[in-house]
Every structure is written in structure tokens, then in C-alpha cells.
Chains A and B, each alone.
Chain A
Amino acid sequence: MSDRDKLLEDTAKDVRRLNQRERAPATWAGIAFYGGTVGLLFVVPVVGGAYLGRWLDSLASGYSVRWTVSLIVLGIALGAYNAYRFMKGRQ
């Protein structure tokens, strides 16, 4: 086999391999990993915000949930942005 034929054959083989990989159905492990990552990216800022808000509220005199609610809302926004960026980057 000449160098030229080998180049053509190996290139065609690599193209076929890439096409097959794209067409291959997603595995359960892959779906779980992807979903878990998106979930963590969303949940961690929300939970972090809630804990931080609760601690800040405990420093205030009397009953207060202002910081807790504010930081939970901020965490939801941050988590949604994180998840969006991750999903956009994977496309």
C-alpha cells in the first residue's frame, strides 16, 4: 500500500469513527454523570447561599429571614447561570 492510499484509508477510518461516536446512543452512566454535574452546579450555590444567609440572619437581633431569602434567590440565579454555561459549553 502506498503512502497516499494509507493516508486516504486512515483519514476515512478516522472520519467513520467520529461519525459513529456521534451517532452512538448516550449511555446511562453518561446521562447520570451529565445530570449530576448540572444538578451540582445548580444546587451548590443555592445551598451555600441558604447557609450563609442563615448565619447572617443569626447575627441580626430578633427574627430575620431577609439574608436567607436574598441569598437563596441569588444562589438560584447563580446556579442557573452556571448550569447554562456548562450546557452551552458542552454543545
Chain B
Amino acid sequence: MNCFALHLHDSHGGDRFDDVVQFIAADGSGSFGILAGHARMLAVLRYGLARFVDSAGRWHFLSLPGGVMSFADNRLTLATVRYFLGDERAGICRQLEDEMARLDSDVHSSRATLTEIEHALLRRLGEMSGRMQEKAGK
């Protein structure tokens, strides 16, 4: 079976699949599919779902907020801000919500930590300025 490589890149890292048989996505003009040996092409994908099947016949689903896809030398490269990969079509929306909630939680805890650091810094600065004033008074 003819296969091609798929490289996924986003702001959090990436994934690589070496045995992709077919990739289906959609751009502004509609849905399209890519098979191994396709001519060079470049497409700007729209928001939504893309999917691909590997040589074992397993479908994988990608939810992405648009992105740039290029195919050359039997390699498909997809660059996007953030993608969510899942093996179940029915569960990908729930998975997406869970992942977003987890990201929110991470951002919230990072902000809380940052606020704590700022407070500690201000406290320390206050202590230091108090000591300097004491020294100047003596």
C-alpha cells in the first residue's frame, strides 16, 4: 500500500506519522483528499476537522483552528497554532472541551503563581527599602 509521511507542528510541539494512506481536510473551496504520490500542493485549511487513515486502516481525527498544509516529496506538513488529535470521531468534541478546560486550568495556575511571585517581590522590595531608610536614619 502506498503511504506518505505526515508531520504535524503546533506551538506545543508536533507529531509524526510515517504510514499515512489518505489525508482528508477542507479549505475555503471545500473538502479534498490526498493520496501518496500527489503533486506538490499548498493549502490554507479552514477551522474544523481533518482526518487521516494509516496503513492499518485506523482513522485519526484532527481538530484545528485552520493552518497551512503543504505536500511535497511524499511528505505532508501541517503547521497550525494548536491541534487536537483523537482516534474517535464521536468523542473528539468532548476531548477538545476537556483539553481546553485543562489548558484553562494550567493558565489559571500559572497566573496564580505569577501573582504570588509578584507579591513576594513587592514584599521583599518593601523590606529592603525599610532597612535602607533605617540605615539612613542612623
Contact = CB atoms under 8 A, between A and B. Distances in A.
Given A13-B48, A14-B49, A8 B90 contact: no
A6 B93 contact: no
A52 B39 CA distance: 38
A7 B96 CA distance: 9
Given A4-B100, A6-B65, A12 B89 contact: no
Contact of B93 (A4, A12, A18): A12
B65 A7 contact: yes
Given A8-B93, A15-B89, A3 B65 contact: yes
B89 A18 contact: yes
A8 B96 contact: yes
A11 interface: yes
B46 interface: yes
Interface residues on B, range: 10 to 19
Contacts, number: 38
B69 to A, nearest CB: 16
A11 B96 contact: yes
Nearest to A4: B100
B39 to A, nearest CB: 23
Interface of B: 26, 46-49, 63-65, 89-90, 92-93, 96-97, 100
Given A7-B47, A10-B49, 18 more contacts: A6-B65, A7-B63, A7-B65, A8-B96, A8-B97, A8-B100, A10-B46, A10-B47, A11-B48, A11-B49, A11-B63, A11-B96, A12-B93, A15-B49, A15-B89, A15-B90, A15-B92, A18-B89
Interface of A: 3-4, 6-8, 10-15, 18-19
